[in-house]
């Protein structure tokens, strides 16, 4: 006699409380040991003092003796936590809080440092200035910059439990935009270190647990680059499409390509609404009409043509944009040319909807 023969016999032992399914089908066989003439079967139960434990150990012993007369049978029991149904890794936060959001748009870049967060924050402010209801979720978990760029550092968002179950976080409102950032939950300057899955969950919470209410646009400042975190984000959040931010140099082309391919890849497959060429030219403060193409001219237009995406914005490199980022007063609040460049970008983006 071998294990397979014993399993065949145990298939005859039915569980009376579980539609008479067999203990094999119910995966209750924890172990089978054969020691010479002795058979030791261990049955797994999901709780202590299962009222049917005695019945099932008895039926198990009886079934074996019936099929293998003369054998010495011992039936042991062990308590094991019930196998939980296999869930996808990550949190299931539902989509209740985003059901009144019309368009969710990711702001992405192939690499860091190109001004993605600057563009995201200013685009949000510019859309709000045009009269749209706007929110921005800072999903750049590795370097959240929204608190600093909006002058809301140190603000602690209100959070409460609704119906004693789900935690809801209130966004921070300023400049007519609803902001949320993982940075509100960390000490300023504190390094945020996340393992991959934690980062994914944290940023899903930054989006799905926030009481956005009615919004025309929810912009998501995505982490730089391309990777698993983006794929996971797009799977759990109904992102409508993306805007890609780049600087115009030739060397940035490969990064734009990575970003474009990511959104066009079958696992994501979302439209790209446009390319924003940041740092398109330099304009000194004292000579506002002058344009110096320090990173080359028409780089953005060439990239956009190469990948078949519209160039929807050209943002100059000007001191006031950097200063606005550092002081917490976004350049898009102003009527200077740099502020108007963001308003133009906002109009071009909104034309898509
Ligand atoms: P990313 O999000 O791509 O890492 P940031 O938006 O944080 O980049 O920008 C990096 C730095 O460059 C910031 O100090 C920001 O103020 C500055 N910056 C970005 N865009 C401009 C611009 N158009 N003109 C001047 N400074 C800019």
Summarised one tens digit per residue, pLDDT across range 131-142 is: 999 999 998 777
Q: Highest-confidence range of 122-136, 181-195, 215-229, by mean pLDDT?
A: 122-136
Report d(CA 283, CA 116) in Å as an integer: 20
Query: What is the band of 87 on the pLDDT scale with cuts at 50, 70, 90?
Result: very low
**What pLDDT is stored for residue 280 in this prediction?**
96
Ligand 1 centroid to 333 CA: how many Å?
16
Q: How far is the CA of 118 from the centre of ligand 1 (A)?
A: 5
Report the distance separating Cα 290 and Cα 114, nearest Å.
22
105 and 233 Cβ atoms separated by less than 8 Å: no
- In the reported structure, the alpha carbon of residue 89 is separated from the centroid of ligand 1 by a whole-number distance in angstroms of 34
**Better-scored residue on pLDDT, 274 or 162:** 274
- Lowest mean per-residue pLDDT among 37-46, 116-125, 222-231, 253-262: 222-231
The two three-digit tokens of residue 155, written as one number: 């603000």
**Ligand 1 atom showing the smallest separation from residue 109 Cα:** 3
pLDDT reported for residue 189 = 58
| Residue 279 CB less than 6 A away from ligand 1 | yes
Residue with tokens 């140099």: 249
> Does residue 229 have its Cβ closer than 6 Å to ligand 1?
no
pTM: 0.76
The dihedral over CA atoms of 262, 268, 271, 274, expressed in degrees to the nearest 10, equals: -30
Give the full edge-to-edge strand order of the sheet including 101-108.
Answer: 172-174, 177-181, 134-138, 215-221, 101-108, 241-246, 272-282, 311-317
Longest dimension (CA), the chain: 103
Which residue do the tokens 């563009």 mark?
Answer: 119
């Amino acid at each position: 006699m071998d294990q397979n023969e014993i399993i065949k016999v145990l298939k005859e032992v039915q569980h009376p409380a579980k539609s008479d399914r067999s203990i094999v089908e119910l995966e209750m066989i924890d172990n089978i040991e054969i020691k010479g003439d002795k058979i030791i079967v261990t049955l797994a139960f999901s709780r202590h003092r299962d009222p049917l434990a005695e019945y099932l150990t008895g039926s198990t012993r009886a079934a074996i003796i019936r099929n293998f007369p003369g054998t010495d049978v011992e039936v042991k029991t062990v308590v094991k936590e019930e196998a939980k149904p296999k869930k996808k890794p990550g949190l299931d936060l539902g989509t209740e809080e985003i059901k009144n959001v019309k368009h969710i748009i990711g702001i992405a870049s192939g690499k860091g440092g190109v001004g993605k967060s600057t563009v995201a924050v200013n685009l949000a402010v510019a859309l709000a200035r045009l009269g749209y209801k706007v929110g921005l979720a800072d999903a750049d978990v590795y370097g959240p910059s929204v608190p600093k760029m909006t002058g809301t550092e140190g603000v602690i968002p209100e959070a409460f439990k609704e119906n004693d179950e789900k935690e809801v976080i209130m966004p921070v409102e300023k400049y007519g935009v609803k902001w949320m950032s993982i940075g509100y939950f960390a000490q300023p300057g504190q390094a945020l270190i996340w393992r991959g899955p934690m980062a994914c969950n944290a940023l899903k919470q930054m989006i799905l647990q926030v009481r956005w209410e009615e919004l025309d646009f929810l912009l998501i400042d995505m982490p730089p680059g391309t990777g698993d975190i983006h794929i996971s984000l797009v799977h759990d959040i109904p992102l409508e499409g993306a805007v890609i931010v780049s600087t115009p140099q030739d060397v940035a082309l490969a990064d734009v390509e990575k970003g474009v391919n990511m959104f066009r890849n079958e696992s994501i497959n979302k439209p790209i609404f446009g390319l924003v060429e940041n740092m398109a030219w330099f304009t000194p403060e004292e000579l506002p009409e002058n344009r110096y193409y320090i990173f080359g001219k028409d780089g953005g237009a060439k990239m956009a043509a190469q990948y078949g995406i519209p160039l929807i914005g050209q943002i100059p490199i000007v001191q006031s944009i950097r200063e606005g980022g550092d002081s917490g007063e976004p350049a898009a609040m102003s009527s200077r040319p740099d502020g108007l460049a963001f308003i133009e970008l906002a109009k071009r983006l909104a034309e898509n909807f």
